[in-house]
Amino acid sequence: MKKITTTLKEPLKYLALNRGSLVLVTDTEGASYRDIGTFMAIGVDGTRIGSVSSGCIEDDIAAHAEQAIVTGQTQTLRYGLGSPFFDLRLPCGGGLSIVVIPNPDETVLARALHKTSDRIPVTLSFDFLTGEINLVNETLLVVNASSMETFKVTLLPDQVVYVFGQGAEARSFAQLSSAAGYQVRLFTKEENIENILGVKHIRITDFDEFKFPEADPWTAICLFFHDHENEAKILSNYLGSIAALIGVQGSQKSRGTPLMELQRLGVSKTHIDKLSHKFGLIPKCRDPQTLAISVLAHVATAFDGQRVV
């Protein structure tokens, strides 16, 4: 069975610090705007973090969450197909099962979030009868999604994009990636680079002496250089990694120099083959904005492939 995973942890972050109810999508039938395992938080003050639909049932869920806080009892809800709420239909025509857990254990949530901040996936087990949430020791578990008493969701580390390069292309891509919600690190030789909201800048003065950060399955490595002097040095540090995507701006012809340099550095063909044969989903981009959109779509596709184990 498919393992249920999520990188969207903002509702858990809220409930680790505030009283409220945790809303969890446990099943979908037909079309759905959200995946199984999607979280939403509803605070006792009415604050809402996240969503489980396009907005058509959140008000009703909030009413049930308020009731759950009063009774202290977990609630199981069904919307759309198979629902007793005939006056609440999903525009997509599908069905959605929801569990509302009042006052989830903030200590468990905080421990889980701490692990993911250390780049460690962690599995949470939910008991729908009692509302109890536990941290599961093993992170590579197959979920029995048919069980109506326990349910497991694996929290993945935040997705990170390492941008190496300079010029408008690197800046445009970093800015767009940050706006899309990814953690972004921009590594550049440029001085006095303009501040980009949400992007951490790291200036590199010497690529030979620079200590490159590690990459994991939730990291994308994206290079934007017009000259190819330092590409091989960067790639040699990552082609042996398990990064979700490693890509380089430029034509197939321009790749010849760094590929030859990688061979000279002793990088194996197996590792060199990890370099993406294309960089972006739109061919022949001629401006920084279109290139940024093209590469970001490629990154999102690669990250999506890392969600299923």
pLDDT in tens, 153-171: 999 999 999 999 999 999 9
SS3 label, residue 219 = strand
| Tokens describing residue 185 | 């690190």
CATH for 160-305, options being 3.30.70.980, 3.30.70.3040, 3.40.50.2300, 3.40.50.720: 3.40.50.720
How far lies 241's CA from each of 184, 201, 221, in Å? 18, 22, 10
What burial class does residue 254 get, using C-beta atoms within 10 Å of its C-beta: 0-12 exposed, 13-18 middle, 19+ buried?
A: middle
Torsion sign across C-alpha atoms 272, 187, 155, 308: negative
- The span from the CA of 113 to the CA of 156, in Å, is 9
Angle at the Cα of 114 from the Cα atoms of 148 and 14, rounded to 5 degrees: 65
pLDDT classification of 137: cutoffs 50, 70, 90:
low
pLDDT, residue 39, reads: 95
Spans of all domains in the chain: 5-155, 160-305
- Write the pLDDT tens digit of every residue in 11-51: 999 999 999 999 999 988 777 778 899 999 999 999 999 99
pLDDT of 21 reads 97
